[in-house]
Amino acid sequence: MREYSIATIPADGIGPEVIAAGRTVLAHLEKQLGDVKFTVENFDWGSDYYKKHGVMMPSDGLEQLKKFDAIYFGAVGAPDVPDHITLWGLRLPICQGFDQYANVRPTKILPGITSPLRKCGAGDLDWVIVRENSEGEYSGHGGRAHRGLPEEVGTEVAIFTRVGVSRIMRYAFRLAQSRPRKLLTVVTKSNAQRHGMVMWDEIAAEVAEEFPEVTWDKMLVDAMTVRMTLKPQSLDTIVATNLHADILSDLAGALAGSLGVAPTANIDPERRFPSMFEPIHGSAFDITGKGIANPVAAFWTAAQMLDHLGEQEASARLMRAVARVTGAGILTPDVGGSATTREVTEAVCDAIHSSN
Ligand code: NAI
Ligand code: MG
């Protein structure tokens, strides 16, 4: 029996709804496979915890999480707590504290889901976006002075280090090499931002020499939005800074049909710490409690988690089950269907047992 310990942090809004769905699916995988066991421990951290305790998680939160094999995370964000508190109080401290420097965001059009791009069919969009997840524009450097006065100033400093850029570049080239097309696009804004972004370009060229099989090109981030929309077939693996990839991957999720299907993995490639798996979407308070949250993103990120744990067969079985269910038109309203979270979850569980 192979055993894995998983910490769940469902947190806010629809987070608990989709993580519960994901736990159900994992339990069915256990039952179907018979030789793998997931021991799940739940943590009630998030905005409700904040309202009671004044912090999003206890001060020894990371210490508590350290012993797990993986973290399965819902979403943070509440209408009555400022977003920078929810984000910097829970999700970012985990990503940064555990040095999960590679944020990996696969996107493709699942069967039965229609892209808003008129000419884009299932095979035309199959990307993995690699987002630098430890520094850049979200390094938290900057400050404010003369608060509230006319001369108030705020700075938000992007930090790019040779270590940080080299390791994400190497991760992206390695990933591109492992995919059939061996194609990588490096995104920057090195025309207008002439320091850190030019360093990105230079390091990309250096790392490229280690990967002669990978074909790579460079794009400016603004032009990249156009290419993603008009020529989705021309892209495969994409690497970009924390901010740029954050924006591009929301666009990618939308082009693939809905934010409700887009997954992400926050990976520590060196495996010193647990990695964290989550849907890309937020807490979606407009649909919280209605039972219609799309659980597919939470399932897909669970498949990423299984892959990371070395359970490739379980991961593939889960994704086949998801594809069968979406292909059969069992879809939540965000992707044009009328099924509930529960109906989609039950259908995926059935498909786990019946597909091979
Ligand atoms: P959001 O992703 O929560 O929602 C955007 C839109 O997509 C909404 O109309 C929502 O109903 C829909 N949507 C999202 N996930 C869905 C799903 N699984 N099924 C069906 N529809 C879905 O982004 P929004 O509204 O900008 O932010 C809401 C809160 O979430 C904010 O507090 C924000 O800071 C937070 N947030 C947290 C993230 C995280 O925890 N990683 C990521 C993005 C936002
Ligand atoms: Mg985002």
Cα 304 to middle of ligand 1, angstroms: 20
Are the CB atoms for 256 and 199 separated by under 8 Å? no
Mutate to test the pocket of ligand 1, among 57, 72, 258, 281 (most ligand atoms within 8 A of CB): 281
Among the bound ligands, name the one nearest to the CA of residue 279: 1
Instruction: State mean pLDDT over 217-245.
Output: 97
Quote the CA–CA distance of 259 and 229 in Å, as a whole number.
16
State the pLDDT at residue 355.
64
Taking only the tens place, the pLDDT of each residue in 148-167 is: 999 999 999 999 999 999 99
Which is higher by pLDDT, 120 or 346?
346
Q: Is the ipTM of this complex over 0.90?
A: yes
Q: How many CA atoms lie within 13 A of 95 on its CB side?
A: 25
Cα 342 to middle of ligand 1, angstroms: 19
Q: Which domains does the chain have, with CATH numbers?
A: 1-101+267-356 (3.40.718.10), 115-256 (3.40.718.10)
Cα 283 to middle of ligand 1, angstroms: 5
State the pLDDT at residue 141.
94
State the pLDDT at residue 356.
60
Question: Taking 80 as the threshold, does the pLDDT of residue 122 lie above it?
Answer: no
State the pLDDT at residue 265.
97
Quote the CA–CA distance of 173 and 184 in Å, as a whole number.
7
Task: Classify 207 as helix, strand or coil.
Answer: helix
Tell me the whole-structure pTM to 2 decimals: 0.94
Instruction: State mean pLDDT over 10-20.
Output: 98
State the pLDDT at residue 119.
84
